[in-house]
Amino acid sequence: MERSANPHPAAVIMTVTQQRDDIEKSTSARFYNLAWNYLRQPAKSKSNKDRILYGTMYFDKNGFVFDQFLVSRSLLGGGELTVDEATARIEAFPEMVSDSKSRGSMRFGLPKGNAADNIDENGFSDHFPVSIELVEA
């Protein structure tokens, strides 16, 4: 990673980019963000309705790409292990996806007050899982 002009030795800057060429040509440590592949991903809801997911978690009726894969140059090719970029995705099985467009995943909920009123036992998390496939050379 690149060191900043900050005199504090623990101050490290990590450069993240959406341009693969930036990674391949760089001499400094940079990371390619595979989350660009799933900024807008089609899915089916628990009632088999078509949905578009705009993030890995939803807050205040908005989707956010909170969960991301950052890969270094060595995983982009030429090494013993590479990432298959096309496989970066949100894992959103229908039983995980809310019917409401303002919600993403089916949440368990947090027990506040009467837990029976705000916990969905069919839920799983407030974030969708994300996945990639790695390929051995």
pLDDT in tens, 80-123: 999 999 999 999 989 888 887 777 776 665 556 666 666 666 66
Full residue range of the structural domain in which residue 86 is found: 2-136
Q: 24 versus 37: which is more confidently predicted?
A: 37
For the chain, how many structural domains are there in total? 1
- Model pTM score: 0.71
* Average of per-residue pLDDT across 23-29: 64
Please name which of 137, 129, 127 lies closest in space to residue 76, comparing C-alpha atoms: 137
pLDDT value at residue 134? 94
Please name which of 50, 18, 23, 55 lies closest in space to residue 33, comparing C-alpha atoms: 18
> Around Cβ 122, how many Cβ atoms within 10 Å?
11
Does 9 have pLDDT greater than 80? no
Q: 100 versus 62: which is more confidently predicted?
A: 62
- For residue 60, give the amino acid letter: D
